[in-house]
Amino acid sequence: MTHSRGREHLAIPGPSIIPDQVLRAMHRTAPNIYEGELVEMMDQLTADLCSVARTSGQVAIYIGNGHAAWEAALANLVAPGEQVLVPATGRFGHGWAEMAQDRGIEVQMLDFGRQSPVDLTRFEEALRADSERKIKAVLATHVDTSTGVLNDIAGIRAVLDRVGHPALFVSDNIASLGCDRFEMDDWGVDAMVAGCQKGLMVPPGVSFVFVGPRAIAKRRAMPRVSRYWDFLPRIEPEFFYQYFCGTAPTHHLYGLRAALDMLGSEGIENVWARHDRLAHTVWATCETWAEGGALSINITDRAHRSRCITALSLPPPLGQDLRHWLEQEAGVTLGIGLGMETPNDPQATGAFRIGHMGHVNLHGLMGVLGAIEAGFQALRIPHGQAALAAAAQAFHTTNDEVATPVGAEKVG
Position 1 scores a pLDDT of: 56
Q: How confident is the model over 283-315, as pLDDT tens digits?
A: 999 999 999 999 999 999 999 999 999 999 999
Which DSSP symbol is given to 243?
G
pLDDT for 4: 64
Amino acid at 262: M
Name the percent of the chain lying above pLDDT 90.
95
- What are the tens digits of pLDDT across the range 2-51? 666 788 999 999 999 999 999 999 999 999 999 999 999 999 999 999 99
pLDDT of residue 403: 44
Give Cβ neighbours of residue 398 (< 8 Å, ≥ 6 apart).
Answer: 276, 277, 280, 281
User: What are the helix (H) ranges across 103-212?
Assistant: 120-129, 153-163
pLDDT value at 246 more than 90:
yes
Q: Identify the pLDDT of residue 3.
A: 66
- Tens digits of per-residue pLDDT, 44-100? 999 999 999 999 999 999 999 999 999 999 999 999 999 999 999 999 999 999 999
Please give the angle made by the CA atoms of 74, 77 and 80, to the nearest 5 degrees.
65
Residues 6+ apart with CB under 8 A from 332: 4, 8, 9, 11, 326, 367, 368, 371, 372
Instruction: Residue 50: name the closest of 241, 183, 228 by CA.
Output: 183
Q: Higher pLDDT residue, 400 or 299?
A: 299
Please count the residues of the chain.
Answer: 412
CA pair distance 276, 272, nearest whole angstrom: 6
Mean of pLDDT values over 141-170 = 98
Note the pLDDT of residue 398: 79
- Between 14-28, 98-112, 388-402, the lowest mean confidence (pLDDT) is in 388-402
Residue 15: cis peptide before it, omega within 30 degrees of 0: yes
Indicate yes or no: pTM above 0.85: yes
pLDDT per position as a tens digit, 172-226: 999 999 999 999 999 999 999 999 999 999 999 999 999 999 999 999 999 999 9
Task: Put residue 247 in one of left, alpha, beta given phi > 0 → left and psi -120 to 50 → alpha.
Answer: beta
Chain mean pLDDT for the chain: 95
Give every CB contact of residue 284 below 8 A, 6+ residues apart in sequence. Answer: 387, 390, 391, 393, 394
309-313: strand order across its sheet: 9-11, 332-336, 351-355, 309-313, 296-297
83 φψ region: left (φ > 0), alpha (ψ -120 to 50), beta (else): beta
Q: What percent of the chain has pLDDT over 70?
A: 96
Residue 82 identity: E
- How many other CB atoms are there within 10 angstroms of residue 144's CB atom? 31
CA distance 356 to 337: 16
Is a pLDDT exceeding 80 seen at residue 131? yes
**Prior bond of 31 cis (ω within 30°):** no
The confidence score (pLDDT) of residue 268 equals 97
Q: How confident is the model at residue 107 (pLDDT cuts 50, 70, 90)?
A: very high
Confidence check: pLDDT of 412 > 70: no
Q: What is the DSSP letter of 305?
A: B
**Pairing state between β 309-313 and 351-355:** antiparallel
User: Residue 399's pLDDT is what?
Assistant: 63
One-character DSSP codes across 283-332 = HHHHHHHHTTSS-EES---GGGB-SSEEEEE-STTHHHHHHHHIIIII-E
What pLDDT band is residue 401 in, cutting at 50, 70 and 90? very low
Structural contact between residues 175 and 196, judged by C-beta atoms closer than 8 angstroms? no
